[in-house]
């Protein structure tokens, strides 16, 4: 009887240890999928923070954490508040963060699409095709570039005409906005927004 009892106890210990290890592995593998900044923070824990890869507040928070780890003397709460306000009031003459880079890039891309030829030559089509294909390879935000490259795989650019290319650019921008839970743009008005100006004339 004691042999059976000891064997049973050993079995229970084995099962408990097995469950603990399984749950530990599962928890370690569970990471946010859609939280881009969370992924970037994890990456920057072992690498130099990338300003163009993160939004300004995330970048500033990482920098503040690095700064606080090197300090010995405590800092007053008043100084902390002032420092936070200073960092959040981002200057215009500083390197771009992820959000600023994204806004500037979309302005460039939409303007390129707006000025694309109505009847593009073979050379024009080839040039724009190469530009779009190479953009994610050189874009300074890796996660953003990967998202764009993935979209290109299942939704390649329509460069047959200006109207088609501008429409495609708007659709891609909306795909990114949907992922970021931002408002979507009415793509029927893309040329009014980026080429002709609004019908009410306030851009004239």
31 and 39 in contact (C-beta within 8 Å)?
yes
Q: Residue 189: pLDDT above 60?
A: yes
What sign does the CA torsion over 23, 24, 29, 30 have?
positive
Percent of the chain with pLDDT over 90: 52
What sign does the CA torsion over 194, 171, 137, 36 have?
positive
Q: Looking at residue 171, what is its pLDDT?
A: 98
Q: Looking at residue 30, what is its pLDDT?
A: 41
Each residue's pLDDT tens digit, 49-100: 565 565 655 555 655 565 455 444 444 455 556 555 544 566 778 999 999 9
Q: Looking at residue 91, what is its pLDDT?
A: 72
The pTM is what?
0.61
Nearest to 158 by CA among 184, 179, 128: 128
Q: Which residues, including other chains, have CB under 8 Å from residue 110's CB and lie 6 or more apart?
A: 166, 169, 170, 173, 190, 193, 194
Instruction: Report the CATH number of the 97-195 domain.
Output: 1.20.120.310
Q: Looking at residue 198, what is its pLDDT?
A: 95
Ramachandran region of residue 103, left (φ > 0), alpha (ψ -120 to 50) or beta? alpha
Distances (CA, A) of 191 to 28, 72, 88: 48, 57, 34
Domain ranges within the chain, ordered by starting residue: 97-195
Q: Looking at residue 34, what is its pLDDT?
A: 47
Question: CA-to-CA distance for 131 and 146, rounded, in angstroms?
Answer: 16
Each residue's pLDDT tens digit, 167-186: 999 999 999 999 999 999 99
Q: Looking at residue 22, what is its pLDDT?
A: 43
Q: Looking at residue 31, what is its pLDDT?
A: 42
Q: Looking at residue 92, what is its pLDDT?
A: 79
């Amino acid at each position: 009887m004691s042999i059976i009892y000891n064997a049973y106890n050993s079995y229970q210990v084995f099962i408990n240890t097995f469950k603990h290890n399984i749950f530990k592995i599962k928890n370690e593998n569970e990471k946010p999928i859609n939280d881009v900044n969370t992924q970037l923070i994890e990456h920057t824990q072992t690498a130099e923070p990338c300003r163009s890869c993160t939004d300004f507040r995330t970048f500033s928070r990482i920098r503040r954490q690095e700064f606080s780890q090197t300090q010995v003397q405590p800092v007053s709460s008043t100084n902390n508040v002032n420092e936070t306000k200073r960092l959040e009031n981002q200057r215009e003459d500083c390197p771009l963060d992820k959000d600023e880079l994204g806004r500037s890039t979309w302005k460039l891309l939409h303007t390129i699409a707006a000025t694309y030829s109505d009847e593009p030559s073979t050379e024009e089509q080839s040039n724009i095709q190469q530009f779009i294909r190479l953009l994610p390879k050189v874009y300074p935000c890796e996660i953003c570039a990967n998202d764009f490259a993935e979209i290109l795989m299942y939704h390649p650019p329509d460069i047959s005409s200006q109207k088609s290319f501008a429409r495609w650019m708007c659709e891609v921008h909306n795909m990114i906005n949907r992922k970021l839970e931002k408002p979507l743009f009415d793509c029927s008005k893309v040329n009014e927004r980026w080429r002709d100006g609004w019908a009410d004339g306030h851009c004239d």
